[in-house]
């Protein structure tokens, strides 16, 4: 048995999706063809695949080619690049995008919300400086853990019974992860990511055929509108303007031109004194005249007097 193979299981070098092959052996990709995919993906999404991503592209598209019974990347490109193949291009983007997330990912940002931002909003509402209306956007929401985390926190601090109107928009370019997000069903193993009061207050334990799963309560699901959105294309969401936007670990996939375009669109959809949260590998220095850094990864859309 080859080293690394599971006992009692013969690995198939062509069809074993769990094998250690970085690139399925039957797929070849010339530099010229890679550049065509590179250009197509960039035009569709703003995501720039560096020349080192050849193996990744082959590996990620392998399953889709097998489903379509297409034997070469050349033939697949000829299909996916046709003007009437919008759905197939969406499937291609689904295949190549990485969707890694969890509840309360980067907890310091949620602590900042709870201990700094929420008290400010509550105080403003008490003195009549703002309506009891809150809108948030999870941009690049993946399989839903981020917007559900936000919704649970908001429901805990801004109760509808007290007159608060709270809604969230959650967007991603991948239809595959959006379908999972809308279901709101997760393995019970993820319960360790949630504080006990939120776990017991907003999650349901699965039984019988759903044993080992947990489901987000319907009142939390109803707070969120999930939709497909390409951040590289200008689009104003109907929930805008937003009091806070989470766009974390998304900008790292864009080149400078696309990043500038995305940040400008996010900024336009923030309220004055609204907050933008980004990932730890992302820096918005010199990208905006409106956004002021409060601390690493957290920005505020400042008024003119604050920008001087």
Domain coordinates of the chain in residue numbers?
Answer: 1-96, 107-307
pLDDT in tens, 227-237: 999 898 878 89
Q: How many CA atoms lie within 13 A of 272 on its CB side?
A: 7
Tokens standing for 125? 């509402």
114/153 Cα distance (integer angstroms): 8
Q: Which CATH superfamily is domain 107-307 in?
A: Vaccinia Virus protein VP39 (3.40.50.150)
pLDDT attached to residue 28: 78
Is the pLDDT assigned to residue 257 strictly greater than 50? yes
- Residue 13: pLDDT band with limits 50, 70, 90: very low
pLDDT attached to residue 109: 96
Architecture in CATH of 1-96: Orthogonal Bundle (1.10)
Environment class of 103 (CB within 10 Å of its CB; exposed 0-12, middle 13-18, buried 19+): buried
What are phi and psi for residue 116, nearest 5 degrees?
Answer: -115, -50
Mean pLDDT of the residues in the chain: 87
Q: Which of 89, 91, 167, 172 is catalytic?
A: 172
Q: Which of 60, 64, 205, 261 is catalytic?
A: 60
pLDDT attached to residue 219: 96
- Least-confidence region, from 40-44, 45-49, 143-147, 299-303: 45-49
Bridge partners (DSSP) of residue 170 are 138, 226
**107-307 matches 1-96 in CATH topology:** no
pLDDT attached to residue 293: 93
229 by DSSP, 3-state: which?
coil
Is the pLDDT assigned to residue 15 strictly greater than 80? no
Beta strands in 123-216 (DSSP E): 133-139, 165-172, 185-187, 203-205, 213-216
- Least-confidence region, from 94-98, 142-146, 148-152, 248-252: 94-98
Annotated active-site residue 60? The verdict is yes
């Amino acid at each position: 048995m080859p080293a690394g193979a599971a006992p009692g299981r013969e690995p198939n070098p062509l069809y074993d999706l769990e094998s250690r092959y970085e690139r399925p052996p039957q797929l070849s990709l010339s530099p010229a063809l890679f550049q065509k995919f590179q250009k197509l993906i960039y035009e569709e999404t703003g995501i720039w695949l560096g020349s080192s991503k050849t193996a990744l592209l082959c590996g990620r598209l392998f399953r889709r080619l097998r489903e379509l019974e297409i034997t070469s990347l050349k033939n697949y490109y000829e299909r996916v690049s046709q003007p009437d193949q919008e759905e197939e291009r969406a499937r291609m983007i689904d295949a190549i995008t990485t969707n890694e997330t969890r509840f309360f990912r980067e907890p310091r940002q949620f602590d900042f919300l709870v201990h700094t931002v929420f008290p400010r909003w509550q105080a403003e509402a008490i003195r009549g400086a703002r309506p009891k209306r809150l809108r948030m956007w999870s941009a690049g929401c993946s399989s839903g853990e981020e917007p559900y985390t936000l919704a649970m926190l908001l429901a805990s601090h801004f109760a509808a019974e007290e007159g608060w109107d709270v809604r969230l928009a959650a967007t991603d370019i991948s239809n595959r992860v959006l379908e999972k997000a809308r279901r709101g069903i997760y393995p019970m193993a993820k319960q360790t990511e949630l504080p006990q009061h939120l776990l017991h207050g907003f999650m349901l334990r699965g039984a019988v055929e759903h044993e080992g799963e947990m489901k987000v309560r319907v009142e939390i699901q109803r707070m969120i509108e999930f939709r497909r959105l390409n951040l590289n294309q200008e689009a104003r969401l109907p929930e805008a303007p937003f009091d806070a936007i989470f766009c974390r670990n998304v900008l790292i996939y864009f080149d400078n031109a696309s990043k500038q375009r995305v940040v400008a669109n996010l900024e336009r959809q923030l309220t004055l004194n609204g907050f933008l949260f980004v990932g730890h590998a992302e820096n918005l220095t010199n990208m905006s005249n409106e956004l002021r850094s409060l601390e690493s990864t957290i920005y505020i859309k400042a008024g003119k007097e604050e920008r001087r």
